[in-house]
Amino acid sequence: LGLVSVPLWEQERLRIAAGSTLRPGGFSLTDRAAEVIGLLPGWRVLDVGCGLGATVERLRSRFGAQAWGIEVSDTQIARIQGVSGIIQACGDVLPFVSDSFDALYCECVFSLFPDQKKGLDEFWRVLKPNGFLVLSDLYSLDDSKIESFSCAGRAVPVLQTHEAVEKKGFFVRLLEDHSPYLKELAAKIIWAGNDENEACARRLGYYLMISQKQGAFHAG
Ligand SMILES: C[S@@+](CC[C@H](N)C(=O)[O-])C[C@H]1O[C@@H](n2cnc3c(N)ncnc32)[C@H](O)[C@@H]1O
């Protein structure tokens, strides 16, 4: 029973399957996005929902970024080892002043936000003009949504996310399907969150979306 109440990303079996990156694709999409946006040494980058801090470390060691992470979970925060610059906070109330970052990563987290509009408002606020938003996440291949706190249960069609991002005023520069990474990870574990049957009942994919904050104009 204890296992069922613990979200998948806090379970040992995900760490065994995925290592320190708690998402499909590991660093592949992190690196791909960094290359697409032309991430340069010294850029200020925030990783929202940073899990164990693997991306924060990666962005520093491979790309020379000044990187920070925020993570909401006590359990994850307690597990982070040897990574500085991680702050405990919720992704839709970011403890940073406006126009702080050149890029913001949110990997396999956005579908978990209880209020995605509020999340996008915060992403927009803390990004500098022309800053990049890198989202990667699960999406569903149908319109149904399950009232659930698992990644699988809360996934929505990718076009819904695309529309919300554009409505906020971001310009979507790249949208790619990377569902094979999800299949690869699902082959090692059952991608389930709180309810394995719910995940199995859904048709899911995985996307990478890169958007840019447009100049100084602000869409409400
Ligand atoms: C599937 S894990 C991905 C972790 C990390 N991004 C990675 O790819 O390794 C989802 C993470 O998002 C965190 N999380 C969920 N909702 C959040 C929120 N509203 N704000 C910040 N973090 C959140 C969870 O605690 C968990 O660590």
Residue having the nearest C-alpha atom to atom 27 of ligand 1: 51
Query: What token pair was written down for 46?
Result: 């925030």
pTM above 0.85, yes or no: yes
Q: Which of 9, 21, 93, 116, when mutated, tests ligand 1's pocket best, judged by the most ligand atoms within 8 Å of its CB?
A: 9
* Beta carbons within 8 Å of 34's beta carbon, 6+ residues apart: 59, 62, 63
Q: What are phi and psi of 118, to 5 degrees?
A: -65, -40
For the Cβ of 76 lying below 6 angstroms from any atom of ligand 1, the answer is yes
Query: What token pair was written down for 41?
Result: 């040494």
Distances (CA, A) of 202 to 39, 61, 154: 35, 37, 10
Contact (CB, 8 A) for 116 and 110: yes
Residue having the nearest C-alpha atom to atom 25 of ligand 1: 73
Query: What token pair was written down for 125?
Result: 């606020």
Q: Report helix, strand and coil shares of the chain as percent, to nearest 5.
A: 40, 25, 40
Buried b (16+ CB within 10 A) or exposed e, 150-167: bbbbbbbbbeebbebbee
For residue 23, give the ligand 1 atom closest to its CA. Answer: 8
For residue 76, give the ligand 1 atom closest to its CA. Answer: 27
For the Cβ of 72 lying below 6 angstroms from any atom of ligand 1, the answer is yes
Residue having the nearest C-alpha atom to atom 16 of ligand 1: 112
CA–CA gap between residue 203 and residue 206 (Å, rounded)? 11
Cα 134 to ligand 1 centre (Å): 14
Cα 5 to ligand 1 centre (Å): 16
Q: At what angle do helices 158-168 and 116-126 cross, to 10 degrees?
A: 50
pLDDT tens, residue order, the chain (220 aa): 344 578 877 877 777 766 788 889 999 999 999 999 999 999 999 999 999 999 999 999 999 999 999 999 999 999 999 999 999 999 999 999 999 999 999 999 999 999 999 999 999 999 999 999 999 999 998 876 666 666 777 889 999 999 999 999 999 999 999 999 998 887 666 544 444 544 555 688 999 999 999 875 444 4
Residue having the nearest C-alpha atom to atom 13 of ligand 1: 49
